Structure 1
Amino acid sequence: MGQAGTLDAVLRRDRRATVLTLVTVVVLAWGYLLLGAGMDMGSAMAGMTMPVAWSPGHAALMVVMWVLMMLAMMLPSAAPMILLHGTVSRRRDPERGGRRALLFAVAYAAVWGGFAIVATAAQWALEQAGVLTPAMSVRTATAASLLFIAAGIYQFTPLKRACLRHCRSPLEFLAAHWRGGASGAFAMGVRHGAYCLGCCWAMMLLLFVGGVMNLAWIAGLALLVLAEKLMPAGQVVSWVLGAGLIGWGVVGLVAVAV
């Protein structure tokens, strides 16, 4: 086998290993959520009225829950970018390319880890204000409707459109932002994570509508994110989704008014 054949074999092996790693992380994250993320969700769903007291331990548990929830929702749609970065890194530097691809993925996850900390702080503030139910959803139909409308409007903004374009075009992203070395791989992962966050943060707010631990709601939002990033007509999907969210919110406000 020649040098080119050896490199191709290494690339195939690395690609399989990367796919297996991503699948394992996503499955473990979903498994953790399915098991209740360390909380007594049965009591919450049964109508418990007293909020859980926030201690350092509870706050840490909430951060872990949010981190794993973000990984479960976002890694599937980021997989094409992570795999392409790994392939290009290996071709440029067969010896260290695999480690740099790992740094890219870790940096991407770190961005969503930062979002998880902010989301935990928002959850705490909303709970202290009496806005959230024990199931971690907003208490009033008006608040839910306004969140739908806000998320829908964001789908039509230039920022959303620009971020979605970068998320949907791995080759374009790598061509425009490639940086060599370990620090370059990490910086690229952060940049891609930032584009992904810019694309999806408003959708993540809808977790406070269906309930932060409502697994069907989480899965539905994850599928919508996956559709607008990976489907051929993803931009159209994004606009249709935006129109649907605005319409849903308006209907909700009308229902409250009457």
Structure 2
Amino acid sequence: MATEPPLRPGNLLPPRVLVTAWSLLVLIAVLAWVLTVGQARDMGIEPGTMGMGIPLFLLLWLAMMAGMMLPSVAPVAITWARAIGRRSTGARRAARTAGFIGGYLLVWTVFGLLAYGALSATGELVQDHPGAGRWIGFTAFLLAGLQQLGPLKNVCLRHCRSPISQLMRYAQFRPWARDFRVGAHHGLYCVGCCWGLMVVLIPLGVMNIAAMAGVATVIFIEKLWRLGPVFSTAVGVGLLVLAGLTPFHDWLLPGLQPPDAPMHMH
């Protein structure tokens, strides 16, 4: 069994190393946003997968997740880097932190496969029955609102906001691929916390930059603000209100409107 406990005072990293780690994660997130924004401007907002095959979609999805999620997961990744401690060389710390991030993003990539299936199905349905978009949007906002207010959200959000006890347990994992498994385990909690917010990208548009930025901001505030749980509840109530409005306001559904379809308010 591994015996290196996390967060021993003698093992804490010097501030210079922590600042470097923060900077690298922020840089990765910024580059991911640059790539995502560039692609979104070329593609526009349309229903479904916009003709993308699974490989291209997953590549863009991975860039989206890196841009949207890394700012909120950075504190956990840095805490794990601190747990690695002074005994590791700089290159080894970097490799282990990269393993954590890799496991985390792999979970979101797998979730991207489910997102691709949902977008493909809803896109085909809207093309065949344009009026169905209102009810798809209603369902998406309703699911997201209920998830925000449900018990699973609270459990996963508590873990994401205060993962120290889990990180201490991770220190007892066998060394083989431990960092990767830690990142994947934390990623599962993150998916459990945020999947409802990702669902709203179906009606708002998966390549809608404003929607992506809004979702990323909500996730960041939920996880890092002192009143994050209260904010999360308020967002859930807001999503339920949107669910009630979507059958009557097409402008709330840019991601479910065919390119040549005008948006109406009823």
Bigger shift: residues 151-160 or 218-227:
151-160
Asked if 2 retains the 8 angstrom alpha-carbon contact of 1:200 and 1:225, the reply is yes
What is the distance in 1 between the residues matched to 2:141 and 2:48?
Answer: 27
Aligned to 1:108: 104
Change (3 A) 1:148 1:131: farther
In structure 1, runs of 5+ residues without a counterpart are 1-5
Q: Which runs of 4+ in 1 moved over 6 A?
A: none
Indicate how the Cα distance of structure 1 residues 77 and 193 shifts in structure 2: closer, same or farther if over 3 A, else same. Answer: same
TM-score (norm 2): 0.79
2:20 is the alignment partner of 1:26:
no
Cα 1:53–1:81, aligned 2, differ >3 Å: closer, same or farther? closer
Q: Are the equivalent residues in 2 in contact too, given 1:100–1:181 (CA < 8 A)?
A: no
Q: What SS does the aligned partner of 1:35 have?
A: helix
Q: Per the alignment, do residues 33 and 98 of structure 1 end up closer, same or farther by CA in structure 2, a change over 3 Å counting?
A: closer
Instruction: Give the SS at the match of 2:39.
Output: coil
Q: In the alignment, residue 147 of structure 1 is paired with which amino acid?
A: A
The DSSP-based 3-state class of the residue aligned with 2:121 is helix
Aligned to 1:79: 74
Q: Deviations over 1:46-102 (max 9, x none)?
A: xxx998555xxx4322111111111111111100000000011124x4234443222
The residue aligned with 2:222 is: 228
Matched residue count:
240
Could you tell me how far apart the structure 2 residues matched to 1:72 and 1:224 are? 14
Where does the alignment leave 5 or more consecutive residues of structure 2 unmatched? 1-9, 251-265
RMSD: 3.1
Whether the 8 Å CA contact 1:11–1:90 is kept in 2: the answer is: no
Structure 2 partner of 1:190: 184
Instruction: Give the alignment's TM-score, normalised by structure 1.
Output: 0.81
Note if contact 1:77-1:229 (Cα within 8 Å) is conserved in structure 2.
yes
Query: Is the contact made by 1:152 and 1:241 (CA closer than 8 Å) also made in structure 2?
Result: yes
In structure 2, C-alpha distance between the alignment counterparts of 1:150 and 1:238, rounded to whole Å = 14
Which of 65, 70, 83 is matched with 1:70 structurally? 65
Task: Give the percent of matched residue pairs that are identical in Structure 1 and Structure 2.
Answer: 33
Residue 3 of structure 1 corresponds to which residue in structure 2?
none
Q: Which residue, out of 208, 214, 219, partners 1:214?
A: 208
Cα distance, 1:50–1:199 mapped onto 2, change above 3 Å? closer
Moved more, 150-159 or 113-122: 113-122
Pairing 1:18-167 to 2, within 5 Å after superposition: 18-36=21-39, 40-41=42-43, 53=51, 58-91=53-86, 93-95=87-89, 96-130=92-126, 140-167=133-160
* Aligned 8 A contact 1:7 1:94 in 2: no
What's the secondary structure of 1:36's corresponding residue? helix
Judged with a 3 Å threshold, the aligned counterparts in structure 2 of structure 1 residues 180 and 90 are, in CA distance, closer, same or farther, namely farther
Range that drifts further, 124-133 or 161-170: 124-133
* Distance in 1, Cα, partners of 2:110 & 2:234: 29
Aligned to 1:14: 17
Larger RCO: 1 or 2 (CA < 8 Å, sep 6+) = 2
The Cα shift of 1:158 comes to: 1.5
Cα distance, 1:204 vs. partner? Answer: 0.2
Aligned residue for 2:126, secondary structure, equals coil
Q: Deviations over 1:147-184 (max 9, x none)?
A: 11111011122211111110000323313443352522
| 1:101–1:132 CA distance, 2 compared to 1 (3 A) | farther
